[in-house]
Structure 1
Amino acid sequence: MYDTILAATDGSDAANRAIEHAIDLASSFDTDFHAIYVVDTTRYGQAVLSESDGALDDLEQRGEGILDDVAARSDTDITSEIRRGRPAEEIDAYAAAIGADLVVLGNRGLGSGPDQQLGSIAERVVRNTDRPVITA
């Protein structure tokens, strides 16, 4: 059913639920499993981040830790990717690059308010990608 699954994470509770679901699917279907973390350069302002490589390095290190945790929780091999930019665009671009059959991500991320049913990044991915998406 699925040959390649991409799971996006920001380390939030919703992303962790999505990761667990993606791991189960990848294991059940014996698929290629990819996980992506995007350093959201728009969240902090490009000017701020462009002047401080240290801030970008810190954010990427955080992402590496999150992706290492994903790999430790999975019994299948994982290809990890860290990117910089607009998360929804980077998730969709990476999904296209790897030919993902499914994208899995949390319904709300770290920046979402408690009353939101669907976070802005999840909504943008659902609206703009041409592949199936599961949110958790």
Structure 2
Amino acid sequence: MYESILVPTDGSEISATAAEEAIELADDGGTIHALAVVEALPMYKQSGKGAKLEGSDESEARAYLTDATDRIEAMADDAGVDCETKITSGVPHREIVSYAEENDADVIVMGKRGQGAAANDILGSTTERVVERSSSKVLTVPEA
């Protein structure tokens, strides 16, 4: 269905569910892009998993997110779908939208809410910001 699919991940179960959905949507010869963002904000402003890594350094966050992108890559490999992974630093919604534009993503598939689910009623703040700012289609996947 889609040739280039971006799957942002924060390591949450919902981002793994979104990856499963993305793999199902991939065309033969399509590529999944697993992107994780180390949140570059002061700790008091961080959302989601970043807040749970309080007191840790960036290398610990990168190791956690490497595991998350590696899991998505393994899922894609098992399904015979190409996968590229990237971990970057910055403001998550900005990095996601930028990556989608730079890589001509046909669609962004992400969970409605990730690690910071308790802070938002309908959509997670990152998901909401991506939906508002992206020129790509955005498919939001609900929690099971």
Same structural fold, with TM-score higher than 0.5 when normalized by the shorter chain: yes
1:79 aligns with 2:84: yes
- Give the corresponding residue for 2:118: 113
TM-score normalised to structure 2 length: 0.81
Q: Distance in 2 between matches of 1:85 and 1:45?
A: 15
- The structure whose residues are more often helix, as a share, is 1
Letter in 2 for 1:121: T
Aligned pair count reads 127
Query: Contact (CA 8 Å) 2:41, 2:91: kept in 1 or not?
Result: yes
Residues 6-44 of structure 1, C-alpha deviations (whole Å, 9 max, x = no match): 111111122121111011111xx1212111011112262
Unpaired runs of 5+ in structure 2?
Answer: 46-55
Q: Secondary structure at the match of 2:105?
A: coil
Q: Unaligned stretches of 5+ in structure 1?
A: 47-53
Percent identity over paired residues: 35
Contact (CA 8 Å) 2:10, 2:115: kept in 1 or not? yes
| Counterpart code for 1:64 | T
Q: Secondary structure at the match of 2:108?
A: strand
Distance in 1 (CA, whole Å) between partners of 2:119 and 2:41 is 21
d(CA) in 2 for partners of 1:80 and 1:123?
23
The SS at the match of 1:3 is strand
User: What SS class does the counterpart of residue 118 from structure 1 fall into?
Assistant: coil
> What is the aligned partner in structure 1 of residue 39 from structure 2?
40
